[in-house]
C-alpha cells in the first residue's frame, strides 16, 4: 500500500493554473523527492496535502483512506518559511505544538528532552527563538515537526541554514525515521541531496507532472550508453559503436558511445580481448542532468 496517492489534482488561482491533473504515488517508507523549478506547483501540492488550502479537483488518499482532517496527526510538515514564535520559550512552544498533534503534555516533554539530547541542545529549553542563530532555530523547527512521530514527513528545503556538520546530523535522523516506518517527502532544489537520499522521485514543471518513478528506473530511462574506459593499447569495435573521444595521459582514456541495445558485459569482453582494461564505467546522467534537460526541453516546447 502506498503512503500517499493523488489522483488528478487541480488548483487554479484566477487565470493561473498551479496544478493541472497531477497524479502521484508515494510508496510507503520511501524517501521521495518532489522536484521542480520555482513556481512549478510543488508548494501548492504540499499545502493541499496538509489541508492548508483546498483543491479544485482530484482525490487524495493516505494509506488507502480518503484524506480527512483527522489525518493531520499522521503528517509532519516542515515548511520552507519557518514559523516559530520568536518571543516564547522554546520548551513551551514545542509542548504547545506537540499538543496540537495529539500528544499529552507529559509525553511531549519526554520526547522534547529525548530529541534535545540527540541534537546536543539540552540547555536550550528556556531560551527564546530570537536568541538563536538561523541554524539553531532550524534544529528546533525540525524537532517540532517530528515530535509526534509522523507517518508521513514532508520537508520543504530542510537543510536551509545548516552547516555541513548539522546537515549530516539531520540527514541521519531522517534516515532513522525512515527505518522506523516514516515516509519522507523532500521538496528541494539541492540535487545532491536527491541523488544521495531519495529512492523515488517526481518532477513537476509548469503545474504538470512530467516524470515519476524509482530513482533507478528514471536513471535507466535516461541512460546515455556512453562508457569511459582507461586502457593500454588501441582497439577496434564493431559497427554501431562510436568512439566519442580518446586522449592519452599516463593511460589512454576513451569514451565510447554504444548502441542502446548493447550490454555492458558484452562491450567489456570485446575490450578485454584486445587490450588491458584498467577501468570501465558507464557515464549515466545524474538526477541534476535529467532535471535540467527535461525542464529546458519543456521551456523550448512552450516558446
State the pairing for strand pair 57-62/200-205: unpaired
N residues, the chain = 303
Residues 136 and 183 in one domain: yes
Q: What is the mean pLDDT of residues 13-24?
A: 93
Pick from 90, 89, 65: which is nearest to 3 by CA?
A: 65
Residues 40 and 179 in one domain: yes
Residues 6+ apart with CB under 8 A from 133: none
Residues 13 and 152 in one domain: yes
- pLDDT band at 280; cut points 50, 70, 90: very high
| pLDDT given for residue 277 in this prediction | 93
Whether 168 contacts 176, CB under 8 Å: no
Across the chain, what does the average pLDDT equal?
Answer: 89
- pLDDT band at 297; cut points 50, 70, 90: low
Last residue of a domain, one of 219, 239, 258: 219
> What CATH number has the domain bearing residue 195?
3.40.50.300
Look-up of cell digits 584498467: 278
| pLDDT given for residue 303 in this prediction | 38
| pLDDT given for residue 14 in this prediction | 87
Q: Which of 51-60, 263-272, 287-296 has the lowest mean pLDDT?
A: 287-296
- pLDDT band at 15; cut points 50, 70, 90: confident
Please work out, in degrees rounded to the nearest 5, the angle formed at the alpha carbon of residue 71 by the alpha carbons of 186 and 204: 30
| pLDDT given for residue 298 in this prediction | 55
Domain of residue 240: give its range.
Answer: 224-282
Q: For residue 159, is pLDDT > 70?
A: yes
Q: What is the mean pLDDT of residues 98-121?
A: 91
| pLDDT given for residue 59 in this prediction | 96
Q: For residue 246, is pLDDT > 60?
A: yes
Amino acid at each position: 500500500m502506498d503512503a500517499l496517492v493523488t489522483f488528478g489534482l487541480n488548483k487554479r488561482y484566477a487565470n493561473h493554473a498551479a496544478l493541472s491533473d497531477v497524479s502521484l504515488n508515494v510508496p510507503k517508507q520511501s524517501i521521495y523527492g518532489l522536484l521542480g523549478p520555482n513556481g512549478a506547483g510543488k508548494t501548492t501540492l504540499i499545502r493541499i496535502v496538509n489541508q492548508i488550502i483546498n483543491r479544485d479537483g482530484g482525490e487524495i488518499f493516505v494509506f488507502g483512506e480518503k484524506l480527512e482532517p483527522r489525518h493531520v496527526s499522521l503528517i509532519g510538515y516542515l515548511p520552507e518559511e519557518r514559523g516559530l514564535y520568536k518571543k516564547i520559550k522554546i520548551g513551551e512552544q514545542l509542548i504547545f505544538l506537540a499538543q496540537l498533534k495529539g500528544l499529552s503534555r507529559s509525553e511531549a516533554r519526554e520526547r522534547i528532552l529525548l530529541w534535545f539530547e540527540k541534537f546536543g541542545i539540552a540547555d536550550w529549553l528556556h531560551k527564546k527563538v530570537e536568541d538563536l542563530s538561523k541554524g539553531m532555530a532550524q534544529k528546533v523547527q525540525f524537532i517540532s515537526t517530528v515530535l509526534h512521530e509522523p507517518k508521513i514527513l514532508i520537508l520543504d528545503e530542510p537543510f536551509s541554514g545548516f552547516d555541513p556538520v548539522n546537515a549530516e546530523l539531520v540527514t541521519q535522523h531522517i534516515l532513522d525515521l525512515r527505518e522506523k516506518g516514516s515516509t519522507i517527502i523532500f521538496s528541494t532544489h539541492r540535487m545532491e541531496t536527491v541523488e544521495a537520499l531519495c529512492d523515488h522521485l517526481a518532477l513537476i514543471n509548469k503545474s504538470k507532472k512530467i516524470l515519476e518513478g524509482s530513482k533507478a528506473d528514471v536513471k535507466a530511462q535516461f541512460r546515455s550508453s556512453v562508457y569511459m574506459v582507461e586502457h593500454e593499447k588501441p582497439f577496434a569495435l564493431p559497427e554501431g559503436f562510436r568512439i566519442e573521444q580518446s586522449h592519452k595521459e599516463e593511460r589512454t582514456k576513451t569514451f565510447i558511445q554504444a548502441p542502446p541495445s548493447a550490454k555492458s558485459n558484452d562491450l567489456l569482453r570485446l575490450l578485454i580481448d584486445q587490450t588491458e582494461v584498467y577501468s570501465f564505467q558507464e557515464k549515466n546522467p545524474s538526477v541534476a542532468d535529467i532535471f535540467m534537460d527535461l525542464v529546458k526541453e519543456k521551456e523550448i516546447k512552450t516558446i
